[in-house]
Structure 1
Amino acid sequence: MKKILFLCVLSFSMSVLGQDYSAVFEKATQDYASGNYEAAIAKYEQILDGEQESVALYYNLGNAHYKLDHIAPSIFYYEKALQLSPQNQDVQNNLAFAEQMTIDAIEEASPTGIDKLKANTIGTFGSETWAKMAIAGVFIFVVFFIWYYFSIGTGLKRLLFSVSIIGMLLFIFSFSFAFIQQQDTSQERYGIIFSEEASIKAEPNPKASEAFLLHEGTKVKLLDGFNGFYKLEIGDGRQGWLKQEHVKAL
Structure 2
Amino acid sequence: MKKLFYLIFLFTMPLLGQNDALFEAGNAAYNNGNYEAAIENYEEILNSGETSDELYYNLGNAHYKLNNIAPSIYYYEKALQLNPNDQDIKNNIEFARNMAIDDIEEVQKSGFTAIWKDTVSVLDYNEWGWLAISLAVMFSIFFLIYYFSRKTFQKRLFFTLSMIAVGGMLFAVVFAFQQKSYVTSEQFAVIFTEEAEVRSEPTQRSEEIFTLHEGTKIEIIETYQDWVKFELANGLQGWTDKSYLKFL
Structure 2 residue 159 is matched with structure 1 residue 161: yes
CA RMSD of aligned residues (A): 1.5
CA deviations over 1:51-79 (Å, ceiling 9, x no partner): 11011100000000000000000000000
Give, in angstroms, the shift of residue 163 of structure 1.
Answer: 0.8
What pairs with 1:52-131 in structure 2 (closer than 5 Å)? 52-131=50-129
CA deviations over 1:163-200 (Å, ceiling 9, x no partner): 11111011011111121111111100000001111001
User: Alignment identity in percent?
Assistant: 44
Alignment: residue pair count: 235
TM-score (norm 2): 0.90
What pairs with 1:28-39 in structure 2 (closer than 5 Å)? 28-39=26-37
> 2: distance between equivalents of 1:243 and 1:120?
31
Give, in angstroms, the shift of residue 120 of structure 1.
Answer: 4.8
What pairs with 1:1-250 in structure 2 (closer than 5 Å)? 18-250=16-248
TM-score (norm 1): 0.90
Give, in angstroms, the shift of residue 153 of structure 1.
Answer: 1.7
> 1: distance between equivalents of 2:201 and 2:97?
28
Q: Secondary structure at the match of 1:163?
A: helix
Letter in 2 for 1:47: I
> 2: distance between equivalents of 1:110 and 1:59?
27
Q: Secondary structure at the match of 2:99?
A: coil
Q: Secondary structure at the match of 1:121?
A: helix
Give, in angstroms, the shift of residue 112 of structure 1.
Answer: 2.5
> 1: distance between equivalents of 2:104 and 2:19?
40
> 2: distance between equivalents of 1:229 and 1:126?
31
Give, in angstroms, the shift of residue 235 of structure 1.
Answer: 1.2
Q: Secondary structure at the match of 2:121?
A: helix
Letter in 1 for 2:92: N
Give, in angstroms, the shift of residue 129 of structure 1.
Answer: 2.4
Q: Which runs of 4+ in 1 moved over 4 A?
A: none
